[in-house]
């Protein structure tokens, strides 16, 4: 069945060519009633030319059909690869946020800020947007500013518990948004495979 589906144009022109040959053989004696060899040669040449023209036209249509099908498959594979890349980048972002959280617990704000900036750059690579929009964009901006504030603290003037809690809540919100987006991508990928 797959063979017929892939080569239906060739099968069609083969059947038409056979029908044209049978028609030519059927009416051969009527058309070439005079014994002149030139008429016979002309008739055979005309039939052969028509068959060749039909084959050429049908091959063009077949190649167009094959090209479109290859193009469609290539798009599907490219889309799948992009989804896998986004999932990998999303996992990397989530790991970076976990590192930020762990450095925040030990009050190492400088390293936490660097990890967060790594997260932001990685997110920009996979999202295709340098500046995130909506709630995610606001949370990223707020957490980064709070972490920058934390780098200027000292033992005498530590970061307040409210600010630390605000940073943790922001990290949890960002992780939730990314995990939800990652789950949606995964569902889309699975539905594409079916």
Cα 131 from Cα 95, distance rounded (Å) = 21
For residues 41 and 77, which has the higher predicted lDDT (pLDDT)? 77
Q: What is the pLDDT of residue 132?
A: 63
Q: What is the CA radius of gyration of the chain?
A: 35
Q: How high is the pLDDT of residue 58? A: 92
SS3 content of the chain, % helix, strand, coil (to 5): 85, 0, 15
Top-ranked range on mean pLDDT: pick from 25-34, 37-46, 92-101: 92-101
Q: What is the pLDDT of residue 88?
A: 81
> What pTM, to 2 d.p., does this model score?
0.58
Q: How far apart are CA 40 and CA 94, in angstroms?
A: 81
DSSP character at residue 34 = S
């Amino acid at each position: 069945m797959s063979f017929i589906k892939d080569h239906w144009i060739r099968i069609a022109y083969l059947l038409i060519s056979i029908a044209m040959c049978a028609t030519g053989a059927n009416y051969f004696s009527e058309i070439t009633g005079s014994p002149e060899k030139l008429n016979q040669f002309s008739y055979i040449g005309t039939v052969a030319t028509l068959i060749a023209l039909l084959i050429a036209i049908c091959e063009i249509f077949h190649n167009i059909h094959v090209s479109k099908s290859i193009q469609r498959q290539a798009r599907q594979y490219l889309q799948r690869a992009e989804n896998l890349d986004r999932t990998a980048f999303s996992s990397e972002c989530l790991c970076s946020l976990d590192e930020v959280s762990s450095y925040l617990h030990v009050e190492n704000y400088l390293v936490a800020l660097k990890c967060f900036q790594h997260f932001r750059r990685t997110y920009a690579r996979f999202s295709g947007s340098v500046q995130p929009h909506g709630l995610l964009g606001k949370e990223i901006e707020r957490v980064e500013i709070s972490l920058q504030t934390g780098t200027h603290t000292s033992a005498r003037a530590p970061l307040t518990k409210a600010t630390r809690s605000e940073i943790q809540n922001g990290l949890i919100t960002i992780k939730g948004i990314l995990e939800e987006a990652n789950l949606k991508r995964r569902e889309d990928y699975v539905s594409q495979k079916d």
